[in-house]
Chains A and B, each alone.
Chain A
């Protein structure tokens, strides 16, 4: 019984490889061998898809032509939405006093007055809106314009004075170049000029008609030889955003009308013999129409509407529309279920003491956490991606079938929104895992993750909070990551309700996602530190 007579045991077992791939495989085996976790992930994906499709299936469009006529639904009710040169939906309604212009040339006008009226939405007597208040809207526009045709959605370039944003050059709906600030009066008129040279249109501005300053230039591809040139006036919906004591934000508004006085209107170039013609471009069945009066070279033009990209939540300019990310609203619910599974992936080990076996098998603890994070992150990503693809594909198809206009997005944006949602879920799962390591209790970990990510998101987008508070929540909390889902673009030159409720996040998509990643990284850091320091 002395060690001298004993031959210590030597294993004849072929030694396996010892590396990170082996650890990954072990953690994957762990995950897939607990049926509840696999089912949990499937449920999370299903919840996401069903909530997303519910959002799409819930909407409907209906209209009634009058008593006794059948109610029509879907596309039949919706006037065609003009599409801009790039194929995106636009708002294109204004009053246009125009003449054809062939080849190169220029249009110049002196703006001597710009005034406005607006109402709060009442239509007394059914005779058209009442406009009891005086004043311009910030983005009321009056100026000179060169446009491909009077067809709504056609290409254009314009230089204009705005209600409170000074002189701007705008073209093709989304482009906006700032010129000098200031307003207009009879004492200090504004000279505005556009010159066409081929497909290039250059905008100028002057105080005296002698000294001209260049505002900007636009290149309008495929502009035909003959275009329409003239003066235009338009004025967007008047909107007031109020916040009640309870914090609820509501917008009210009404139509507005701008009236501009131009003189010294001159069109230089090859023009036809006809005179000036006036058109309500894109007025549709709007009750508020513009018009113009010409007397002794002075044009008095009234117009209402806007020339701008179409946005889903523009008060007054709204039309039945949907965004691709609307079909991903279920992500928050899927996230909760996924966070439960992710937290349990580690807390179940603490609860049973299994963590000791795990760490005895793999004493390099950081690697264990890395392997777990990679496995749960990948599983969540794949489940989230499948759910997002299904929800968006079917949701968009459903919405279109019902007559909704679905805001088009580039392939890159669609990939960012769909894969980004999956990545958002994956990062949240890693965060849940890390919090699980820190707290070692699944209920507590899930509660922390839900309060940190889902609660701020729901509070912000469900318009429970004032818009300002909602914005801050979506900047500072991990819920900022939901910004990755935003496909809509916010335009500085379009007054709209850019709130989380309307689908606009205060941070850019990747910036918001980075905030979430920052939280996850911090949690993983703390988890690593504790995992290495604490006794198992």
Chain B
């Protein structure tokens, strides 16, 4: 129970803006839980509520069954990175970690350990204000790891990272989960979580839209569709429509077929001797699955409220 986050029925308004509207999910240990949704969906607000920084109007967020505010030495229970820019620019990176360590009764030796873990050796005597966003993210990761916590929260940790950093971050997140930690990672870009997250909590308008494994989500989004590549486009459409499929033209020589499994598409085309060069089951990207799920939330945001995220900051 220690290494779980339980968010239940959180509601919170910022003035007229509903930031959280019944947000509920659980972050289990040993997994990377992706926390995705468009900007303004309530991800950051939820994280602040989990950390006891914002008070919810209703509902609760518990760490291992306890409120964050009741934790002693909280950084040894929960490590977090909310905003990589949240540092005093004129303070050195090492001093930044040092005061944080002191607040938890930890020593300078632990500071050096996390510096190494985050790959920041050699740069820690410099003022943090001179750090690139990517380096600040690493510094934030180091801060989150100070107390060696079983629960970790990262808000948009991929922001500002170069491709090499993104790969490092994915591996890092995976290794944390592999150690049995509960890891919650928010992102507004699904692609960043590809290959990193085991589970996805998709949110929009302050509530959970989907809470599912990554594989399940992709399967669902693929919807049994088949991609067909053929020079005889018209004939193929006629044959397949006759066989009961819905066919859409997606390119000069490609069609997308739904309502008919791939093997039956092949059989139908074979019976009518329609030539084709490729038939494959379409596999949706995570991005597409996500777009599908959050379309409503995005529309809502575009039409009505453009500022819940800002109001929440």
CA distance A11 to B72 in the complex (A): 15
Q: Taking the complex as formed, is B300 at the interface, i.e. its CB lies under 8 A from any CB of chain A?
A: no
- Contacting residues, chain B, for A468 (C-beta < 8 A): none
- Contacting residues, chain A, for B3 (C-beta < 8 A): 8-9
Inter-subunit contact A33/B92 (CB<8 Å): yes
Q: Taking the complex as formed, is B302 at the interface, i.e. its CB lies under 8 A from any CB of chain A?
A: no
Q: Which of A206-214, A266-274, A353-361, A509-517 contacts B (4 or more CB under 8 A)?
A: A353-361
Q: Kindly provide the distance from the CB of B313 to the nearest chain A CB, expressed in whole angstroms.
A: 8
Inter-subunit contact B52/A34 (CB<8 Å): no
Q: Taking the complex as formed, is B149 at the interface, i.e. its CB lies under 8 A from any CB of chain A?
A: yes
Quick one: which of B4, B30, B90 has the most chain A CB within 10 A?
A: B30
Q: Taking the complex as formed, is B147 at the interface, i.e. its CB lies under 8 A from any CB of chain A?
A: yes
Residue of B68, B92, B102, B182 touching A363 (CB-CB under 8 A): B68
Q: Taking the complex as formed, is A43 at the interface, i.e. its CB lies under 8 A from any CB of chain B?
A: no
Please provide the chain B residues from 29 to 43 with a CB less than 8 Å away from any CB of chain A in the complex: 29-31
- Contact of A11 with B106 at beta-carbon distance under 8 Å, contacts A6-B29, A18-B73 already known: no
Inter-subunit contact B143/A26 (CB<8 Å): no
Q: Taking the complex as formed, is B116 at the interface, i.e. its CB lies under 8 A from any CB of chain A?
A: no
Q: Taking the complex as formed, is B211 at the interface, i.e. its CB lies under 8 A from any CB of chain A?
A: no
- Contacting residues, chain A, for B54 (C-beta < 8 A): 535-536
- Contacting residues, chain A, for B53 (C-beta < 8 A): 356, 359-360, 535-536
Residue of B31, B55, B149 touching A1 (CB-CB under 8 A): B31
Inter-subunit contact B90/A23 (CB<8 Å): no
CA distance A25 to B143 in the complex (A): 17
Inter-subunit contact B29/A16 (CB<8 Å): no
Inter-subunit contact B149/A11 (CB<8 Å): yes
- Contacting residues, chain B, for A34 (C-beta < 8 A): 88, 90-91
Q: Taking the complex as formed, is B206 at the interface, i.e. its CB lies under 8 A from any CB of chain A?
A: no
Please provide the chain A residues from 7 to 37 with a CB less than 8 Å away from any CB of chain B in the complex: 7-13, 15-19, 22-23, 25-27, 29-30, 33-36
- Contacting residues, chain A, for B28 (C-beta < 8 A): 3, 6
- Contact of A360 with B91 at beta-carbon distance under 8 Å, contacts A13-B76, A353-B83 already known: no
- Contact of A356 with B100 at beta-carbon distance under 8 Å, contacts A35-B90, A348-B88, A363-B69 already known: no
- Contact of A8 with B86 at beta-carbon distance under 8 Å, contacts A1-B213, A363-B69 already known: no
Which B residue sits closest to A362, measured CB to CB?
Answer: B103
- Contacting residues, chain B, for A13 (C-beta < 8 A): 76, 106, 110, 147-148
CA distance A358 to B30 in the complex (A): 28
Q: Kindly provide the distance from the CB of B59 to the nearest chain A CB, expressed in whole angstroms.
A: 15
Q: Taking the complex as formed, is B286 at the interface, i.e. its CB lies under 8 A from any CB of chain A?
A: no
CA distance A352 to B313 in the complex (A): 11
Q: Taking the complex as formed, is B188 at the interface, i.e. its CB lies under 8 A from any CB of chain A?
A: no
Contact string, A113-153, partner B, CB cutoff 8 A, digits 1/0? 00000000000000000000000000000000000000000
- Contacting residues, chain B, for A16 (C-beta < 8 A): 73, 76, 104-107
Please provide the chain A residues from 301 to 321 with a CB less than 8 Å away from any CB of chain B in the complex: none
Inter-subunit contact A357/B143 (CB<8 Å): yes
Q: Kindly provide the distance from the CB of B279 to the nearest chain A CB, expressed in whole angstroms.
A: 31
Inter-subunit contact B85/A33 (CB<8 Å): no
Inter-subunit contact B148/A361 (CB<8 Å): no
CA distance A364 to B103 in the complex (A): 12
Inter-subunit contact A353/B100 (CB<8 Å): no
Residue of B48, B68, B198 touching A356 (CB-CB under 8 A): B48
- Contact of A33 with B95 at beta-carbon distance under 8 Å, contacts A10-B150, A16-B107 already known: yes
Quick one: which of A3, A23, A357, A362 has the most chain B CB within 10 A?
A: A357
Q: Taking the complex as formed, is B181 at the interface, i.e. its CB lies under 8 A from any CB of chain A?
A: yes
CA distance A362 to B4 in the complex (A): 20
Q: Taking the complex as formed, is B74 at the interface, i.e. its CB lies under 8 A from any CB of chain A?
A: yes
- Contacting residues, chain B, for A353 (C-beta < 8 A): 82-83, 85-86, 313
Inter-subunit contact B180/A6 (CB<8 Å): yes
Which A residue sits closest to B79, measured CB to CB?
Answer: A360
Inter-subunit contact B149/A29 (CB<8 Å): no
- Contacting residues, chain A, for B69 (C-beta < 8 A): 363-364
Q: Kindly provide the distance from the CB of A89 to the nearest chain B CB, expressed in whole angstroms.
A: 51
Q: Taking the complex as formed, is B2 at the interface, i.e. its CB lies under 8 A from any CB of chain A?
A: yes
- Contacting residues, chain A, for B313 (C-beta < 8 A): 353
Q: Kindly provide the distance from the CB of A354 to the nearest chain B CB, expressed in whole angstroms.
A: 5
Which B residue sits closest to A344, measured CB to CB?
Answer: B88
Inter-subunit contact B103/A356 (CB<8 Å): no
Inter-subunit contact B71/A9 (CB<8 Å): no
- Contact of A26 with B103 at beta-carbon distance under 8 Å, contacts A9-B29, A33-B91 already known: yes
- Contact of A363 with B90 at beta-carbon distance under 8 Å, contacts A13-B110, A536-B53 already known: no
Please provide the chain B residues from 63 to 113 with a CB less than 8 Å away from any CB of chain A in the complex: 68-76, 78, 80, 82-83, 85-92, 95-96, 98-100, 102-107, 110
Residue of B2, B70, B102 touching A26 (CB-CB under 8 A): B102
- Contacting residues, chain A, for B213 (C-beta < 8 A): 1
Residue of B4, B68, B89, B100 touching A357 (CB-CB under 8 A): B100
Which A residue sits closest to B89, measured CB to CB?
Answer: A352
- Contact of A354 with B86 at beta-carbon distance under 8 Å, contacts A1-B198, A11-B150 already known: yes
CA distance A536 to B52 in the complex (A): 9
> Would you give 21 A-B contacts (Cβ < 8 Å), ordered by A?
A3-B30, A3-B31, A7-B180, A8-B180, A8-B182, A9-B3, A10-B180, A11-B76, A11-B149, A16-B73, A16-B105, A18-B105, A23-B103, A27-B99, A30-B88, A33-B99, A352-B86, A356-B82, A360-B51, A360-B52, A360-B80
Other than A363-B68, A363-B74, give 15 A-B pairs with Cβ distance below 8 A: A1-B213, A3-B29, A3-B30, A5-B30, A8-B4, A9-B182, A11-B76, A11-B149, A25-B102, A29-B98, A33-B99, A353-B86, A357-B86, A357-B100, A361-B75
Mark A residues whose CB is within 8 Å of B: 1, 3, 5-13, 15-19, 22-23, 25-27, 29-30, 33-36, 348-349, 352-354, 356-364, 535-536
Cβ-closest 8 pairs across A and B = A16-B105, A6-B30, A33-B95, A26-B103, A8-B3, A17-B105, A353-B86, A9-B180
